[in-house]
């Protein structure tokens, strides 16, 4: 299956060189979890704060059990805020 991974703010530094903008498409085995999909990027756990799949928040305790589906978009931010 193919999913899109988006890394924002300071996590942009962890994208591979061939990423376009803030995103990269990756091929993953069926049943791969959120945590499994992010593992190759080496994101510091403290900075893996806001994790969204198709815009919906995935709680830390669900990230190693939530399987991804083909076509989903996984987006991650460090702790951020604005106003």
Partner 1 sequence: MSWNRKILRVNLTAGTCTPEPLNMEWANDYLGSRGLGTKYLTEEIDPKVDPLSPENKMIMATGPLTGTMASTGGRYTVITKGPLTGAIACSNSGGFFGAEMKFAGWDMIIFEGKSPKPVYLYVENEKAELRDAAHLWGTTCWHTEETIKAELQDPLVRVSSIGRSGENQVLFSCIVNDLHRAAGRSGVGAVMGSKNLKAVALRGTQGVSGVKDFPAFLKAANAAKQVLKDNAVTGQGLPKYGTQVLMNVINEVGALPTRNHRDVQFEEAGKISAEAMHEKRPTDGKAHLITNAACFGCTIACGRISQLDKGHFTVQNKPEYWGASGGLEYESAWSLGASNGVGDLEALQYANMLCNEDGFDPITFGATVSAVMELYELGILTKEQIGIEAPFGSAKALAYLAEITAQGIGFGKEVGLGSKRLTAKYGRPDLSMSVKGLEFPAYDGRGIQGIGLNYATSNRGACHVRGYTVASEVLGIPVKTDPLATEGKPGLVKAFQDATTIFDSAGVCLFTSFAWSVADVQPQVQAACEGDWSMEKMAIVGERIWNMERQFNLAAGFTAKDDNLPPRLTTEPAKTGPAKGRVNELGKMLPEYYEVRGWTPEGVPTAETLARLGL
Q: Which residues bind partner 1 (CB under 8 A)?
A: 6, 8-10, 12, 21-22, 46-47, 49-50, 52, 54-57, 59, 73, 75, 77-83
Residue 69, CB-side half-sphere exposure with 13 Å CA sphere: 2
In the complex with partner 1, which residue's Cβ is closer, 27 or 57?
57
At its nearest, how many Å lie between partner 1 and the CB of residue 42?
18
Burial zone of 36 (CB within 10 Å; 0-12 exposed, 13-18 middle, 19+ buried) = middle
In the complex with partner 1, which residue's Cβ is closer, 30 or 56?
56
d(CA 82, CA 5): 23
Between CA 30 and CA 58, with CA 55 as vertex, the angle to 5 degrees is: 65
At its nearest, how many Å lie between partner 1 and the CB of residue 69?
15
Residue 38 token pair = 């992010």
At its nearest, how many Å lie between partner 1 and the CB of residue 26?
18
């Amino acid at each position: 299956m193919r999913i899109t991974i988006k890394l924002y703010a300071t996590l942009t530094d962890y994208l591979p060189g061939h990423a376009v903008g803030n995103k990269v498409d990756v091929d993953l085995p069926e049943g791969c979890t959120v945590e499994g999909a992010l593992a190759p990027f080496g994101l510091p756990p403290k900075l893996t704060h806001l994790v969204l799949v198709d815009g919906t928040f995935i709680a830390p305790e669900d990230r190693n059990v939530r399987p991804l589906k083909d076509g989903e978009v996984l987006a991650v931010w460090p702790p951020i805020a604005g106003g």
